[in-house]
A and B are shown apart, each in its own frame.
Chain A
Amino acid sequence: MSGIRTNAAAELLGVSPNTLRSWERRFDYPKPRRTAGGHRQYDLVQLESLRRALLETHNISSAIEVARQRGEGPSSPSRLLDAFDQFDEGVADRVLEESLAVRSVDRTVEEVLLPAIELAEGREGREVEWELACRWATGWLHAHRRVAPPSSRGHGVILFDSSERLDHESLHVQALELTIRRAGFKSLLLSFDLPPERVARAMRAVDPIAFVFCGGEATLEVLGRLVYTVRQVGSAAPVFEYRESMPVTGDHAIPSLGTTPTEAAERLKQYLDSGRLESGTPGSQPLTGSIRRSA
C-alpha cells in the first residue's frame, strides 16, 4: 500500500492538516497507518477516492460515506470528469467500458455519464473541457442508439426537444431517446419549433402512442400549436412532459414522466400496460390541474 504523510495528504485534498485530523477523529476516515516513528501514513487510494467523492456530494459526511463504500470503484462521474479535464477520450472510453461491465447501458448513462456532464457544466475557465464533454457524450449516446435492439413493442413515441443548444438538458433528451428505444419503443426525436404541417406527416407515419415535451425551453405558444396539430391529425395519444420542461408553475394538465430516462421509460410502459400513470416521485408533476403562465 502506497502511503503519504499528513501534509501531502492535506495538500492533495485541498484542506489543512488539522481538518484531516478532525475528520479522522469524527468519521474515522481517511484512516492512516502509523509508521514506526508514530507518523500518520495515508493511503493514496483512500485519498483519491475521497477527493472524487467530495466533488459529487454536498456535504463532508456523505462524501466520506461514498468514498468508504466505493473505495477505488469501477467507475464514477468524477473519474469521467477527470478524463474530460485531461482531454483524454481514451480514458473516458475506458471509464464507461468499465461501468458497462457492472452496470446496464441505462444505469451507466444515469449514474456515470449524465452526472459527469452535470459536474463539468458551469465551471469558470473550463469551457473547453465542457465542450469536449458534451461532444464526447453525444457521440457515445449516438453510438449506443445505433446498436439499440429493434422495437419489440411496435409502439412509437415522438419526443419534442426544446433545448436550443448542446448542453446538459440536450444530453438528457438524447439519453431519454436512447432509453425509450432500449425499452422497446420506436422513437422519433424532433425539434420543438418545426412547422406543424411537417410534424403532421411524421405523426401519421409513426402513429405514436405518446408525445413527450422535453428540453427545458418550451413555450406555451408552441406547445399549444403542437397539441392542436396532434389532435387535428386525429391522434388521441397523451402528451407528457419530462424534467420540468413546461414553462408553467403551479398545477397544470400535462403529466410528467419524471426526471430520469429510466423513470420516464418505466412510466411509459406502465401507461401502456394499465392505461394510466401512477403518481411519480415527490418532484414529479401531478397528473391533473390547469395550465397557468409562469410569473
Chain B
Amino acid sequence: MATLIKIDHSASVAHTGTQRFCSRCGEAGEPPPPRGRPLRERRVCEACGMGVLLSCSREALPGMGAAFIIATADLSVSAVSSAGEMLFGLEEDLLGVPLVSLMKATGGKERLARTVASAALRNRPPTVLTMRGLTPNAEAAGLLAARISTCQPPRGALITVGPANLTSL
C-alpha cells in the first residue's frame, strides 16, 4: 500500500520555523538544538519554573506577558498564562473547563469551536477571530482578538488574546 512507504518529514521541516515558549509566562525559550544533535531538551521554563516549554510557529509566538490559553482537541483548557489568569481566572480553576464557557467568537460559537479543534488536531496556520470574553474581567475588556494556532508537544491549540484594535497580536 503506497501510503505505508512514504514517511512524512514535513512536520520536522515545518518546525524549522518554530520557536519555543513558556506555557505560563510566555517567555521565549532557547532555540531548538541543531539538527541531528539528539540531546534532551529542557522542558521546564528557566525564567518562571512554573510552565512547560512548548513550540509554535514564529508568527504565533505569544511573547512575554501575553494573555493566552492552551486548549485540547476536545476544547477543554489545558493551560493558562499568568496574564490570561487576569482575564479568565486562576489556572487551577480553569484546567479541564470547556473553552466555550470562557469566550465566544463574534462569528458564532461553532466557528470558534471548529477553529480551535482543527488547530489542536494538526498544524494549522494562525487564524485571528474577534471574540468576547464570558468571564467578568474579560467581558469588561470589550471586543478582543484571538489568534488561534497550533502548539506542541503534546499538540494543542494556542489561543492568544489581545485588544481587537491591534492588527499585530
Which residues does A use to contact B, with CB under 8 Å?
Answer: 13-16, 18-19, 22-23, 51, 54-63, 85, 115, 118-119, 121-127, 129-131, 134, 138, 161, 163-170, 191, 216, 243-244, 249-251, 259, 281-286
Contacts of A165 in B (CB 8 A): 3, 6-8, 10
CA distance A124 to B2 in the complex (A): 26
Known pairs A165-B6, A243-B121. 14 more at Cβ < 8 A?
A13-B43, A15-B49, A22-B49, A56-B154, A59-B80, A122-B14, A123-B12, A123-B153, A125-B36, A170-B3, A191-B3, A244-B121, A259-B121, A286-B110
Contacts of B117 in A (CB 8 A): 244, 259, 282-284
List 3 tightest A-B contacts by C-beta distance, closest first.
A283-B117, A19-B49, A167-B8
Asked if B9 and A127 make an inter-chain contact with CB atoms under 8 angstroms apart, the answer reads: yes
Contacts of B153 in A (CB 8 A): 55, 118-119, 121-123
Which of B8, B33, B100 is most buried by chain A, counting CB atoms within 10 A of its CB?
B8
Contacts of A250 in B (CB 8 A): 110-111, 114
Contacts of B75 in A (CB 8 A): 281-283
Q: Give the segment of B59-67, B90-98, B134-142 that binds chain A.
A: B90-98
Q: List 16 A-B contacts (CB under 8 A).
A: A14-B40, A22-B50, A59-B70, A60-B44, A123-B12, A125-B33, A129-B38, A163-B3, A164-B6, A165-B8, A165-B10, A170-B3, A216-B121, A259-B117, A259-B121, A282-B99
The count of chain B contact residues (Cβ–Cβ below 8 Å) is: 66
Shortest Cβ gap from A57 to chain B (Å): 7
Known: A54-B52, A58-B23. A122 touches B44 (CB 8 A): no
CA distance A121 to B114 in the complex (A): 23
Interface positions of B from 30 to 54, Cβ below 8 Å from A = 32-38, 40-44, 46, 49-52, 54
Known: A19-B49, A59-B52. A285 touches B114 (CB 8 A): yes
Contacts of B43 in A (CB 8 A): 13-14, 51, 54-55
Contacts of B92 in A (CB 8 A): 61
Asked if A18 and B34 make an inter-chain contact with CB atoms under 8 angstroms apart, the answer reads: no
Asked if B78 and A57 make an inter-chain contact with CB atoms under 8 angstroms apart, the answer reads: yes
Asked if B118 CB lies within 8 Å of chain A CBs, one says yes
Asked if B154 and A249 make an inter-chain contact with CB atoms under 8 angstroms apart, the answer reads: no
Shortest Cβ gap from A112 to chain B (Å): 13
Kindly report which residue of chain A lies nearest to residue B69, judged by CB atoms: A58
Contacts of B70 in A (CB 8 A): 58-59
Asked if A161 and B111 make an inter-chain contact with CB atoms under 8 angstroms apart, the answer reads: no
Asked if B166 CB lies within 8 Å of chain A CBs, one says no
CA distance A283 to B54 in the complex (A): 22
Asked if B131 CB lies within 8 Å of chain A CBs, one says no
> Which of A14, A55, A61, A122 sits near B95, CB closer than 8 Å?
A61
Contacts of B2 in A (CB 8 A): 191
Asked if B73 CB lies within 8 Å of chain A CBs, one says yes
CA distance A249 to B113 in the complex (A): 11
Known: A14-B43, A115-B154. A134 touches B7 (CB 8 A): yes
Interface positions of B from 1 to 26, Cβ below 8 Å from A = 1-12, 14-16, 23-24
> Which of A54, A58, A123, A251 sits near B78, CB closer than 8 Å?
A58
Contacts of B98 in A (CB 8 A): 282
CA distance A129 to B39 in the complex (A): 13
Contacts of A216 in B (CB 8 A): 121-122
